[in-house]
Amino acid sequence: MTERVPSESFRHALEEAGVGLYTGVPDSLLKEFCAYISREVASERHLITANEGNSVAVAAGNYLATGNPSLVYMQNSGQGNAVNPLASLAHHKVYGIPMVLLIGWRGQPGVKDEPQHGVQGVMTPEILDSLAIPYRTLARSAAGASDDAKWAVGHARERRGPVALLVEKGTFEPDPDSKGAASGSFTRAREDALRVFVDAVGPRDVVVATTGKTGRELDELRIAADSDAGGDFLNVGAMGHASQVAMGLAMGEPKRKVWCLDGDGAILMHMGALAIVAQHAPENFLHVVLNNGVHDSVGGQPSVGLEIDIPAVALACGYRSAVTVGDEDDLAAALETLAASPGPCLLQVGLAPGARADLGRPKTTTSERRDRLMAWLKRDG
């Protein structure tokens, strides 16, 4: 049996070496460690941020105050968000801020993964090399991982800059005490909400679905209904950018409605997009935010989605309307009103976390889906 790393022993090694703060964006390859940290570390020493660049900045600020390096965790897709502060703030040739980057290595060469991770998997060590950030692949044993933790913290201090540990699939032990995050009082399942949504979408409408399980559930519902999914675009990567993809489509197709299916974690990651949508104000732009208060696709770690008023933020940015529906509200009627309203307008749907254990993945390739959408738009134009 392959040995795995206990989260507890890895944490102790980090803290013995001097790590004082944990911050990051959850990742499926790190979900066991993230669940453990969320449960065992006090909130003043653990921050789940809106995006990975924010985490690097938090780590920098905390080091300036305490002199202790932080652990910054992320999926390797988040390296893109982190490059700017890593290069222009924490880099050893700029402010020289020691920190340890714990990076889930999705799309690792030789390991089967989803297509959106393949390019990033190859680039992961290349990005670290280009940033002159030393790295190791975390050992798959308690003793080895503890040694790697001590090396990373010590080397970060010595060189006064970031050091990275890459985490392969299946490195951490399962977390038996993880029960997922609370999500308020909502009980409606996302898939049930999507079933209502599919019925509300017009035959000429375009749908852009955010990263993660939302797109997978939409795809399965289309297949089960044997309906035309030609107008669907699954934004399988680029978390937080679905609204801008949808806005680009709306501007290029002004005579048809374009729906953006967003998530709370995704909308938080690049919330400034709301202001840009409102500035350009495409009347055919309809924004549906599926809010369950967790990062559902990577382990159910909490977001602040249910602690803030997303519709109020949208209205403050300049959306023409923005409302919330809960369990007792008529979602079909709310979607009908949304479809009849001039955009940009937003509908937030409060949901319970979780998804079916047997949820499948799209069978078509990303290039096939691109070509299908473009051909559908041309044919149906």
| Domain at 284, CATH number | 3.40.50.970
Verify that 134 and 72 share a domain, yes or no: yes
Q: Do 262 and 301 belong to one domain?
A: yes
Same domain, 206 and 349: yes
Residue 1: pLDDT above 60? no
Structure tokens at 212: 């993660």
Asked if the structure places residue 185 within a domain, the reply is no
Cβ partners under 8 Å of residue 237, min gap 6: 77, 116, 117, 120, 211
Q: What is the pLDDT of residues 139-195, one digit of tens each?
A: 999 999 999 999 999 999 999 999 999 999 999 999 876 555 555 689 999 999 999
**Confidence (pTM):** 0.92
**Residue 40 lies inside a defined structural domain of this protein:** yes
- Cis, bond preceding 344 (omega within 30 deg of 0): yes
CB 162 within 8 A of CB 93: no
202 and 254 housed in the same domain = yes
Domain membership of residue 27 as a residue range: 7-167
Q: At what angle do helices 242-252 and 272-280 cross, to 10 degrees?
A: 10
Distance CA 120, CA 175 (A): 27
- Contact predicate 319/262, CB 8 Å: no
Mean pLDDT of 267-282: 97
Q: What digits encode the pLDDT tens for the residues 3-59? A: 899 999 999 999 999 999 999 999 999 999 999 999 999 999 999 999 999 999 999
Q: Tell me if 75 sits within 8 A of 25, measured CB to CB.
A: yes
Strand blocks (E) in the chain: 21-24, 46-48, 70-75, 99-104, 135-137, 162-167, 206-209, 232-234, 258-263, 285-291, 294-295, 301-302, 321-325, 345-350
Write down which residue in 132, 167, 202 finishes a domain: 167
Q: From CA 320, how far away is CA 206, in angstroms rounded?
A: 20
- pLDDT at residue number 117: 85
- The angle subtended at Cα 47 by Cα 44 and Cα 48, nearest 5°, is 155
CA distances from 226 to 229, 230, 368 (A): 9, 12, 18
Residue 79 has pLDDT above 60, yes or no: yes
> Any bridge partners for residue 286, and if so which?
259, 345
Q: Is residue 270 part of a domain?
A: yes
pLDDT for 67 equals 97
Are 138 and 212 members of one domain?
A: no
Could you tell me if 291 and 370 lie in one domain? yes
User: In this model, does residue 313 exceed pLDDT 90?
Assistant: yes
Provide the number of structural domains found in the chain. 2
Residue 73 vs residues 3, 259, 309: alpha-carbon distances, Å: 22, 32, 27
Element holding 192 (H helix, E strand): helix 190-200
Rounded to an integer, what distance in angstroms lies between the CA atom of residue 197 and that of residue 302?
A: 25
Amino acid at 217: E
179 occurs within a structural domain: no
> d(Cα 235, Cα 241) in Å, to the nearest integer?
8
How far lies 141's CA from each of 100, 138, 149, 369, in Å? 19, 9, 12, 41
What is the rounded average pLDDT of the residues 102-123?
Answer: 89
Q: Is residue 276 pLDDT above 90, yes or no?
A: yes
